[in-house]
Structure 1
Amino acid sequence: MEIRKSQLTDLDTLMKMYENARSFMSSHGNPTQWGNTYPPKPLVAKDIEEGCSYVCIEQDKIVATFYYKEGRDDTYVKIYEGQWLDDSPYGVIHRITSDGTVRGAATYCINWALNQCGNLRMDTHRDNMVMQHTLDKNGFTYCGIIYSDDGTERLAYQKKIK
């Protein structure tokens, strides 16, 4: 597998992946995290234009996508019922999904991002048991509660490379 920045020509593929992810989450007890429309196409296009959208490629096919950026994320400024491991510079992943065809694609993406920055923060919905399992099995530490831009609660995680 390899990671590259997304291109605007990838947009329709990414939107189909997000549509499938919403269906998957809904059928696995998590119907509200992304609802019926998140992420909207203009947001994904903006991520691509800003150079923060990435794809994971296997045999010339996009099998996963995610948002990755290094630096302060306003969503992570305040944490409740816990604390971050530390306040050193970090990267974040948001909006990660795979097409389900390649086992371990999400883990590959997460490890790629961690290797870029050495300190990674992520969050997920309380009902997203699949992502919680992925974070746990990849050695992330649960740190507390954060609130997304729309005011909904998220479970916050962090992992540092020693």
Structure 2
Amino acid sequence: MNRRTTRTATRTLAASIALASGLALTGCSSDGDAKDGKPQLKVSGAFMPQPVMDMAGGFLVIKNDSGTADKLTSVSSPLSDDVQIHETKDQKMRQVKSFDIPANGELKLERGGNHIMFMKIKQKPKQGDKVSVELRFEKSGPIKVELPVEAPNHNPKQH
């Protein structure tokens, strides 16, 4: 090889190493991810309409500010020994095992859609009370949330 070919090969190799290093660093971290690589979840808009029967619904939004997806796998509460997560399709509710929480996205549990269902509640909370729940996830640690009890017809979409 002559000098010119050696210099060109050296520059190409150096550029390739720099590019590969930059890509490797980019793949290892993403904005919003914790150092342990778990999703960063935040809950907002939580509420429960005052129950009129021995069942109640719970509604909230789980925002994922990370590049790692997660799943809501279960919910528990002192209000009921049977707390389920339900999806609504074609105006029919059915229990599901989990809900996806996309990377850099959100899961909306809302009236008329997917929601938390408290079966055979132990007592009926009144408007102004708060109901404790614990949300459990596939990857993230549990999150405890207080659901303020609102009027039976409360729907934030209509305000």
| TM-score (norm. length: structure 2) | 0.25
More strand per residue: 2
More helix per residue: 1
Which protein has the larger Cα radius of gyration, Structure 1 or Structure 2?
2
| TM-score (norm. length: structure 1) | 0.25
